[in-house]
Amino acid sequence: MVKSMTGYAASGAEIATDAGVFTSQWDMRSVNGRGLDLRFRLPDWLDGLEPALRKLISARVKRGSVSVSLRLTRPDSGGAGRLNPDALDAAIRMARLVEERAEAQGLALTTSRAVDLLALRGVMDSTPDLAAPADLLDALLAQASPLIDAFDANRAAEGKAMTQVIAAQIGAVADLTRQSRRAAEARKGSQEQALKAALSRLQDAAPQIEPGRLEQELALIAVKSDITEELDRLGAHVAAARDLLAQDGPIGRKLDFLMQEFNREANTLCSKSQNPELTRIGLDLKTVIDQMREQVQNLE
């Protein structure tokens, strides 16, 4: 199944452990990326959680910038924490230094309050004192599996919707390619007249030129305006794109490369058109291809 690189999932639950009851709040989201970039915001006292999550996610996700955050709280703790005396002493020294510097420069500051000092980072240590966190880690990993399932399902649903849009755009390219063939066939008469006029101008401008040289010049003009190869390659690219959409697994990089090939043929068609109708079709092709590439760049 083709998946999008963007996805989202969230979950939360209570976990009963030997150390008490915890409440977990998970958030998992991703955006486009050139490769796989995993970023975590986890409690740093939970050793071993990040490597385990990396292994689980890497088995399911191949491309994208993925962010995973976990917030753990203890409802039974009443919000209490442990005072870090060293950090408090450092905070007091810093507050006193600031007040002295301000007073020396004639700036009056309000007196620091205890609650202000306690709010400084590191003064209050909220890390749970866990003797055996193994059961908590096991419970969190058990929660992570359905979270990743939901995240992957979200990516798959968006990928399905995007492939339907891309399939319709590929169909539009195929239709415009057929229109180009008809327009190229219809311009043959005007091309022959243009070649005859070019031949007449060359003969008038250089009556002594060798006939073989004239034929070479005319053949060169004809080659420069022939779009048969471009149309054939567009048809081959359409078939390749449809084959890729029918495949399972990551196809975004291959489709993105194919979009460059589509665009190259459309540009060449416009440069060779020498015909208002072909130029219009070529510009329509470029528009559809640009729109298609925007969608493709969201695929894994």
Q: How sure is the predictor about 25, in pLDDT bands with cuts at 50, 70 and 90?
A: very high
Rounded CA gap, 36 and 300, in Å?
10
- Looking at residue 132, its pLDDT comes to 43
Number of other CB atoms surrounding residue 43 within 10 Å: 16
Residue 130, in any domain of the structure: no
- Are 96 and 27 members of one domain? no
Q: Is the model's pLDDT at 134 over the cut of 80?
A: no
pTM, entire model: 0.71
Domain that holds residue 43: 7-78+135-153
Q: Do 225 and 163 share a structural domain? A: yes
Least confident range of 97-101, 114-118, 277-281: 114-118
**Residue 267: both structure tokens together:** 């540009």
Q: Judge if 184 and 277 occupy the same domain.
A: yes
Give the model's confidence band at 255: pLDDT under 50 very low, under 70 low, under 90 confident, else very high: very high
Asked whether residue 63 falls in the same domain as residue 96, the answer is no
Query: φ and ψ at 128, to 5 degrees?
Result: -60, 145
Q: Please, which pLDDT band fits residue 82 given cuts at 50, 70 and 90?
A: low
Is 70 part of a structural domain of the chain?
yes
Residues 6, 294: Cα–Cα separation, whole Å: 13
State residue 21's pLDDT score.
85
Average pLDDT, the chain: 85
Q: Is 276 part of a structural domain of the chain?
A: yes
Q: Examine residue 145 and state whether it is found in any structural domain, yes or no.
A: yes
Most distant CA atoms of the chain, gap in Å: 104
CATH number of the domain bearing residue 33: 3.30.230
Q: Are 16 and 139 within one domain?
A: yes
In a domain, 1, yes or no: no
Q: Which of 204-213, 225-234, 257-266 comes out lowest in average pLDDT?
A: 204-213
Same domain flag for 67 and 102: no
Rounded (10°) angle between helices 134-186 and 252-272? 20
Q: Do 72 and 163 belong to one domain?
A: no
Q: Is 66 inside a domain boundary?
A: yes
Whole-number CA gyration radius for the chain: 34
Asked, for residue 73, whether it belongs to a domain, the answer is yes
**pLDDT band, very low/low/confident/very high, at 282 (cuts 50, 70, 90):** very high
Residues 14 and 98 in one domain: no
Of the two residues 97 and 147, the one the predictor is more confident about is: 147
Q: Which amino acid is at 99?
A: E
Q: What is the pLDDT of residue 131?
A: 45
Which tens digits make up the pLDDT trace of 48-61? 899 999 999 999 99
Per-residue model confidence as pLDDT tens digits over 140-163: 999 999 999 999 999 999 999 999
Whether 2 is in a domain gets the answer no
Instruction: Determine the pLDDT at residue 249.
Output: 84
Residues 197 and 286 in one domain: yes
166 and 245 fall within a common domain:
yes
The per-residue pLDDT for 103 is 83
Domain count, the chain: 3
**Higher pLDDT residue, 124 or 278?**
278
Higher pLDDT, 44 or 291: 291
Same domain, 89 and 113: yes
Tell me: pLDDT of 234 over 70. Answer: yes
In sequence order, which ranges of the chain are alpha helices (DSSP H)? 49-58, 85-104, 114-118, 134-186, 188-205, 211-225, 228-245, 252-272, 276-296
Looking at the structure, do residues 104 and 183 belong to the same domain, yes or no?
no
